[in-house]
Amino acid sequence: MPKPSVTDLQQLISGVVLPFYQVSRHTPLRFAPGTWENDAEHSWSLSLLACALAPHIDEALDIGVIAQFATVHDLVEVHAGDTSNFASDDEKATKDERERAGLQKLQAQLTALPWVCKTIEAYESQTSAEAKFVKSVDKILPLLFDYVEDGLFYRENRITLAEWGHKLQTQRQKASAHSGAFQYYLQMWELLTSHPEFFYDPAAQSAK
């Protein structure tokens, strides 16, 4: 395999890394009012959490592979954009198609660095325990953020507890990819539902 050139490395930075920092997620950051988490920050957070948790779930899990999957798991969003759990049905309907097209664009961009797209494909195939584990932890992470931020996103976006439970059914199903990690998802679900004050309450607002 030929070595990539400096130009190839520049293409990775200018065409993928820097745009990845510009993909905003729907996760407000309390410590910096008016700012939201981006995809690069999310991927680092996922890698740290998944690698730290994995040995306690299953010692057979390969932490190196987990770190690789977490690093690339959302890279297609450079071209596809992030799709929130609370996006419109029309936006959600195009998610898979947009992400497939995003992968094709990455493949065309990164022919000299094939590891990136091969790793994305290995993750998306969901055939290994490591891929399933990262998929599950990826769904746990937003709930952790929402809990430690006291439901800031839900209240700012007027999301009721009932709406939250309905909108997250697909996410909850995806979180069950790895049974060991899923137990933490269920615990986070119970914690959040035990705090109705984290959610928008129309009745409370009308009473003011």
Give every residue of the chain whose pLDDT is below 50, as ranges: none
Is the CB of residue 154 less than 8 Å from the CB of residue 163? no
Is the CB of residue 184 less than 8 Å from the CB of residue 140? yes
CA 145 – CA 141 distance, rounded (Å): 6
Return the C-alpha torsion angle 82, 86, 89, 91, nearest 10: -20
- The answer for residues whose C-beta is within 8 angstroms of residue 136's C-beta and 6 or more apart is 174, 175, 176, 177, 178, 181, 182, 185
Q: What is the pLDDT of residue 26?
A: 82
Decide: pTM greater than 0.85. Answer: yes
Three-class secondary structure of residue 188 per DSSP: helix
Fold of 6-206: Hypothetical protein af1432 (1.10.3210)
25-55 per-position pLDDT tens digit: 887 777 777 788 899 999 999 999 999 999 9
161-189 per-position pLDDT tens digit: 999 999 999 999 999 999 999 999 999 99
Q: What does the domain layout of the chain look like in residue ranges?
A: 6-206
